[in-house]
Amino acid sequence: MVFTPSPLLLKLLYTRGSLRNTPEGVAFSIKNRLDTVRITRIDHVQIDDRRLGVGEIAIDLGEGDIRPAVVFNADSAGFTLPVGQSATFYLATDQLTEGLHTIQVQFAADPFGDLNVEVEDSITLTPDNRPRIPRSSQDDYSDEAIRKRQDFAEEFTGQQFEHLKQYSFDAHALQGNCEHFTGIAQIPVGLAGPLHVNGEHAQGDFLIPLATTEGTLVASYNRGIQLLNLSGGVKCTVIGDAMQRAPVFVFDDARGARDFGRWVEEEIARIRPEAESTSSIAKLQYIDTYLSNKFAFLRFNYSTGDAAGQNMVGRATFAACSWILENYKGAPIRHFYLESNFATDKKASQINVMRTRGKRVVAEAVIPRNLLQQRMRVTPEQLAYHGQVSNVGAFMSGANNNGAHSANGITALFIATGQDVANVSESSAGVFYSEITPEKDLYISITIPSLIVATHGGGTGLATQNEYLRMLGCVGRGTVNKFAEIVAGVVLAGELSLGSAISSSDWVSSHEQYGRNR
């Protein structure tokens, strides 16, 4: 299924700030942000009141592939422009004066047909003489390109570097993961466990790789893991799965926004296939509508397979919104933004605690009274009461977590396994609960409402990171929920260990013994 890009979305194809003078005339860039297309024809370009025909246009497709538009139009095959790739237009015309200019590009693309991009951009004549990091347009991951950046860093800083240059993988594998690659940051990894997990997806014993520079962290998690194992393991359950993109539509008044929200609710069956046309993985579950002032915020909720899916759902929502912009016939939509800050990407938020982002997973266990006293030197009553007092502190401070330190274990696992570490800002949210059982044992559980993890895509395929995922048995199709359950189990182990250390006053002495408190 093909979606039709609206004029509002077509404006986003143009790369703002790309307009510049060249020795032969003028240049600017268009980046494909819609879907993989085949450009079949270039009609004309107009800058201000100057209309330039195909004889005055050449197109640079990257890697030295520059084609005159006349020759290009004569080739019936056209050229394929993948999502994310740019095409630079070179125009044989007089150079532009400094200031604002209007640009119009008329062309045809399969499967969309005739497209017209109209934008404004400015040009500056002030030279930029600042030092620039070396980059190769032919192969930026070659040994030569990397060495030039290393030499530049040493010359610029006046320092000599040894360890950052040492790595054991082909740098070309980093394409799509890291730009301007120069070296590595070596982070120590300690093993904790094995952790016994009683999950629906993760079942058995797992070695836990924790990447950290914080003394006592691995020891603390290992202590909690041992107690969980002695108690029969940790029970983990994925209870929710949703990844969001949240566009906003702007109207003249609140009534227009309200009516639009009702229309979206009625048209979900027609919107869903438009969104899912961009991916074989992303599935649109539902759309939440939130109204404020004259704005309609739509929170699109997807399942994304083994990928974290932020980019996947962005593309899907882009397609859905293009269809919406073309088909809504009510009050005029004055502005549209693909992300409104309502998905709270890489930000802690209450909506994610309530509505789920990524995986919503619960880890729970019952710790026998005698084991808790023998291993942690606290009673169930002490730990449960400490939790009540801590709840007050968390409430007063406005924290997104009433537990002890779930971000520690999550971050260490994220770094080791190639997750997007910035997602810790959302994933660290937690709801901790404990109670005394009728048998006078301790029941503890933690809900992680927005755990954003992946076992496919992003950094999970890189050399070291993939090895640690293999250590966990979380490589291959259908392993993301398994990984989520393991992460949740590790988090509960950390809550049990640190909570007990604080309750028994072992916290400071442990850091003195194992950390770097000097």
State how beta strands 189-199 and 234-245 pair.
parallel
d(Cα 484, Cα 95) in Å, to the nearest integer?
56
Catalytic residue, chosen from 214, 267, 326, 441, is: 214
Question: CA 295: distance to chain centroid?
Answer: 25
Q: Does the active-site annotation cover 24?
A: no
- Give start and end residues of each alpha helix (H) in 377-405: 380-397
Element (H, E) at 38: strand 37-47
Catalytic residue, chosen from 267, 288, 441, 511, is: 511
For residue 393, the one-letter residue type is G
d(Cα 333, Cα 339) in Å, to the nearest integer?
16
3-class secondary structure, 37: strand
Q: Which two tokens stand for residue 24?
A: 């032969």
d(Cα 403, Cα 427) in Å, to the nearest integer?
13
Q: Does the active-site annotation cover 163?
A: no
Catalytic residue, chosen from 420, 485, 495, 506, is: 420
Q: Does the active-site annotation cover 253?
A: no
Residue-by-residue DSSP string for 348-384: --HHHHHH-SEEEEEEEEEE-HHHHHHHHS--HHHHH
Sign, CA torsion 174/175/176/178: positive
Q: Which two tokens stand for residue 14?
A: 């143009």
Cβ atoms 367, 441 nearer than 8 A = yes
Q: Which two tokens stand for residue 425?
A: 């800002």
For residue 63, the one-letter residue type is E
For residue 163, the one-letter residue type is H
Catalytic residues: 214, 420, 511
